[in-house]
Amino acid sequence: MNSDIKKSYYTVIPATVRYDSNVVPSAKLLYGEITALCNEKGYCWAINDYFSRLYSVSKRTISTWIKSLCDAGYISAEFVLDNSNQKVKMRCLKVEANFDTHLMKTSIPSRKKVPEPHEENFAENNTINNISSSQIFERTKINDNRARNRKIFGADSDPYLLARFLEKNIAENNPKFPQSESQRQRWAKDFDLMIRRDKIDADDIAEVIEWCQKDSFWRSNILSGKKLREKYQQLRMRMGG
């Protein structure tokens, strides 16, 4: 870990998260990090680059962990604009939990609620603590493959958020542009390929979406996720970054 990042706070990871077998093991630690960074409204503004440097892993790995937490319903994410200059303010993470600091009770919307750790939970936890890093990687890969095979992208997943962001920007230029859930899902598949296969960070894709929809030429040419993927590198060069 980098020494220039302050790490003096502490956090609590509830049993609901700790013993959820659907969540990538390392994502559970990231959940604790996110809760420690949240403001009083439960929002965390830290970007993937920060977490990447904090845990000495790639931004792509951080995106995988965040997706795991979003899919489980423990956090939600959205791209927002900075009101001062109307530019993308990266991604805002929100912890979907209400903590009672005295009783340490949690109320978390999730696919599975675990009121207390059962014996099998302890067995699984001990197994996780003793497996090698290569096994952790394989488990992460398996979870990622399962997510890719799903036909429907969750509303809190990066690909779907990017599809909504592109749709919103296009509609601002052309209020009559057709909008539909099936279209968002198609675009989400393209953005998923950009993130997984092309190794492009979701925040970088959001920046290009915003830029191209403000450009007088490109806003009439980039009208789908497929076209954005096709022209991404050209658009990035035009942006000068």
Residue 99, pLDDT score = 37
The tally of domains found in the chain comes to 2
Residue 86, pLDDT score = 55
Q: Domain holding 141: CATH number?
A: 1.10.10
Same domain assignment for residues 158 and 134: no
Mean pLDDT (10-residue bins), the chain, 241 residues? 53 86 90 85 82 88 88 82 59 66 35 40 44 50 52 83 94 93 93 93 93 94 96 91 53
Domain that holds residue 228: 152-241
Same domain assignment for residues 106 and 166: no
Q: From 89, 118, 149, give the residue that closes a domain.
A: 149
Instruction: Provide the greatest CA pair distance for the chain.
Output: 61
Sheet holding 43-44, edge to edge: 43-44, 88-95, 75-81
Q: From 129, 149, 169, give the residue that closes a domain.
A: 149
Same domain assignment for residues 129 and 72: yes
Task: Choose among 238, 217, 82, 68: nearest CA to 154.
Answer: 68
Residue 180, pLDDT score = 92
Q: Model pTM greater than 0.85?
A: no
Q: From 79, 114, 149, give the residue that closes a domain.
A: 149
Asked if 13 and 33 count as a contact pair (C-beta separation under 8 A), the reply is no
Residue whose tokens read 């440097």: 53
What residue type is 225 in one-letter code?
A: G
Same domain assignment for residues 136 and 175: no
What b/e readout covers 200-235, taking b as 16+ CB neighbours within 10 angstroms? bbbbbbbbbbbbbbeeeebbeebbbbebbbebbeeb
